[in-house]
Amino acid sequence: MKKLFLYVFLALLWCNVGVAECIKGDCRNGQGTYTYSNGDKYVGGWKDGKRNGQGTMIYPDGRKYVGGWKDGKGHGLGTFMWVNGDKYVGEVKDGKRHGKGTFTWANETKYVGQWKDGKFHGQGTRTDPSGDEHTGEWKDGKPHGQGTHTYHNGDIYVGEFKDGKRYGQGTYTQSNGDKYTGEWKDGELVKPN
């Protein structure tokens, strides 16, 4: 009876563990389809048992990556798509957005520019549906360095930014023509010229 219980227990345990396997083609060196125990599914090129070349990864939550692969990670040109409608098209390195690319959110906000390790980094432009637009330097996903921010009401700030806020020398021009020039800190004018 103990042996029967053990066999039943092991069989049930095995049934609850996902099976990772090559279900079609050559998943070592060629073209193949591989399903992972976590529900991921990859269809594409393989080299030495790693994803290489062109391929598509579909995740259980509905996300999808279509593009280049190198040594098992997204690399080269690719497209990330999310179930909510967000989409990235551009360069990828080690599975992250890296290089030049465009991210379009489902709400029509858009960033076009440089990326580093999955964040806005370098030169780029971000626009949102309200009409706000920021063009300039970015660091770790925030405006940082020289930039121009145009507000939906027609106001414009041209100058320096730090961690997403006006910081350093800059000029804020209101749509009515009033100008505020000087040194800014944490978004506020602290030393007018």
- Model confidence pLDDT, tens digit, residues 70-82: 999 999 999 999 9
Distance CA(51)–CA(78), nearest Å, equals: 14
Residue ranges, CATH 2.20.110.10, the chain: 18-86, 107-193
Give yes or no for residue 21 having a pLDDT over 50: yes
Q: Taking the mean position of all CA atoms in its chain, how far away is CA 184?
A: 31
| Architecture of the 18-86 domain | Single Sheet (2.20)
Mean pLDDT of the residues in the chain: 92
- What is the pLDDT at residue 19? 79
- Give residue 59's pLDDT: 97
**Chain segment 131-146, per-residue pLDDT in tens:** 999 999 999 999 999 9
Question: Which pLDDT belongs to residue 3?
Answer: 61
When mean pLDDT is compared across 17-31, 40-54, 87-101, the lowest value belongs to 17-31
Measured distance CA(97)–CA(174) in Å, rounded: 36
HSE at residue 168, side-chain half, CA atoms within 13 A, is 13
Taking only the tens place, the pLDDT of each residue in 168-180 is 999 999 999 999 9
At residue 176's C-alpha, the angle toward residues 173 and 181, to 5°, is 25
Q: pLDDT > 70: what percent of the chain?
A: 91
pLDDT number for residue 4: 52
**Are residues 114 and 100 in contact, defined by beta-carbon separation less than 8 angstroms?**
yes
pLDDT at 15 over 50: no
Which CATH number describes the domain made up of 107-193? Answer: 2.20.110.10
Angle at 144 between CA 146 and CA 125, to 5 degrees: 75
Q: 74: which 2 tokens?
A: 């997204």
- Top pLDDT among 152 and 1 is at 152
Task: Look at residue 12 and tell me whether its pLDDT is greater than 90.
Answer: no
